[in-house]
Amino acid sequence: MKVKRLFDIIVSFIGLMSFWWLIILAALISKLDTGLSGFFIQTRVGRDAKLFKLIKIRTMRHIPGIVTTVTTDGDPRISKIGRFWRKTKIDELPQLWNVLLGDMSFVGPRPDVPGLADKLEGEERLILKIRPGITGPASIIFKNEEVLLAKQEDPEKYNIEVIWPEKVRLNIYYINNYSLVKDIGYIIDTIFQRD
């Protein structure tokens, strides 16, 4: 795992040096677009169940009455520019800072909001022993999660009962079969994945 951390530090530093201007530009555009801070900061559960602040480019406006953390395709909160940020993954770039700080890794289970981690039992708790990631096998397989959720009568229920358990299974498989070569493959798949 020391090699994994060294990889994260080097690549996140290079990424921040290369894309700092794009992160700032996107945040400024997002601020003008949404009327809120250009950065979206949310508490997530990290390694050893420690809480940290995940940073993304804001892609959603505030709409009174909508408080769910589950986002579906066509969610009225997502702005037109925000949809572009999401499609191009530009909204994920600030997480390079989370990786550099050690809150996250490039590859690993996506960090959940507080509450979901409490549902992990037995072997599932293994997920909390490693740094969460920007991408991973579960993220790639469920790349169209918002579209899938939009088709459900009760998106939140479907997410908890179907998607989340499958992500847990995929994340455990990832941990038990880790290799740096596979990590690099997941990163490449994420960058070049198609709809």
CB 112 within 8 A of CB 141: no
Residue 178's identity, in one-letter code, is Y
In the numeric block, which tokens belong to residue 135? 């991408």
Q: DSSP label at 46?
A: -
Q: Are 138 and 170 in contact (CB under 8 A)?
A: yes
User: Which pTM value belongs to this model?
Assistant: 0.90
Q: Distance between CA 8 and CA 131 in Å, rounded?
A: 11
SS3 for 148?
helix
Q: How far apart are CA 157 and CA 28, in angstroms?
A: 35
Task: Write the pLDDT tens digit of every residue in 126-144.
Answer: 999 999 999 999 999 998 8
Q: Mean pLDDT lowest for which of 79-93, 101-115, 146-160?
A: 146-160
End-to-end CA distance of the chain: 32
Contact partners, residue 44, CB within 8 Å, separation at least 6: 51, 52, 53, 54, 111, 112, 113, 114, 132
Q: Which of 89, 105, 88, 94 is nearest to 10 (CA)?
A: 105
Tokens in use for 66? 């909508």
> What pLDDT, in 10s, does the model give residues 148-190?
888 888 888 999 899 999 999 999 999 999 999 999 999 999 9
